[in-house]
Structure 1
């Protein structure tokens, strides 16, 4: 279990993490989300003792990381897949790490097999692709068979097979009672992997809840209706107090009434329905609603398709 209590970190006048408290519990995959500059990486670095908190404390299974006698066997960490001696082979890199904790060479072979890097294990890490570097970083995190896993963007650069493997692996690890803290910017992947979500924004906790509860609280459910008389049905629904948006000549999205009520109304008026599909919001929708005012680095809006691009005048 990871427990943060009033955790803050300041760099001169800038506050990167501001009075953050949360608990990452065993047996669940906890997603750690937030815009760039939100304080996620700084928080993870404080968990594993790479940065010292300005105030507050964070513990792993009741102890600060620096107090762990054999940290590799307690906490598996992937923060930077590039943190490897580029002249060493993957196998030698893992053997060097194993030697610091008396971990047998057989375990090195096991994690090489688990992460699928056997074919490149004798090649220098400096020549690895981004995906292979990620796999080596995950192998290093697994070396001590730890009860706690902290993985920052573990699917970055992986092919679809690798992404699926990471998803299945972390869920299996949680099912074994391990503590898993997983950071990613891929909302669709996080939605399929995480049980619980912590969202940071400008160094503060914006949300800390089960994924389903977060989505329900921060998104609006709709009903997709398709009918040859969609316009007429939409007018009836608006008159009944619903919010209706057209998404096609025969399709409307309805907010307010439930699907069964819309179906009954259509039946009463003899309106044929070709589709009546309740839709819920996504994790991405909830995340954007939560962090809309907490984005530090904001990009310019992209023009809609078909919008003319202004000419550049020399």
Structure 2
């Protein structure tokens, strides 16, 4: 009975591959990869001739079943573009199928953009919330962020280059422009960049306005305001959010998250404004 090995691979610097990862890739009967071109580059660097087979997030269900079936003939290794499979990357489906069929599943830990970013963020918190890439739909995205903010823990978020400016604006609206953030780009690569700044200042950074590629954001734990703003200020901000095109309920949820107030307090303002 074959074993499924979930193998972490370098997120940028090929020298970060571990001896155990190399040994597993050398001995596996089959290597499945999210991106065969990138994996071939790694295998060539390691002197491994095993040719990877494609298996990615958009692969058909039958392809994932075929990969699980390959475990009957020997060990299978699964790798992604970089980092640890099934952590904001494909792989979980194959892991579940292997478990369902009774095959051993083993992890080969190593590089991860999440742990790499946390290591250089300078946070001392005892935990964090990892959100990965946020949903493209704004309502779902804001709901997820509000839930994460309620934990009072640091947050780790992945962002594509075309989503970053909008995301920073949304985060500043929810957490305040003075909230701390660490922007990580090209981690472990030649042009690695790690900048600690605030959400208000982040849009002006070269790495944000000019940098290509994905970014990893580490957000400081939310800080509860010392005292809630006066009701007149809340009404003004509520009106501004509605003027920007948000529905009353959506504006109320965002305002409640921004000031860390119970939602029913803001909903009462919405009801009062409707009556007036």
For normalisation by structure 2, the TM-score amounts to: 0.28
Instruction: Pick the structure with greater CA Rg.
Output: 1
Structure with the higher fraction of residues in helix conformation:
2
For normalisation by structure 1, the TM-score amounts to: 0.25
Structure with the higher fraction of residues in strand conformation:
1
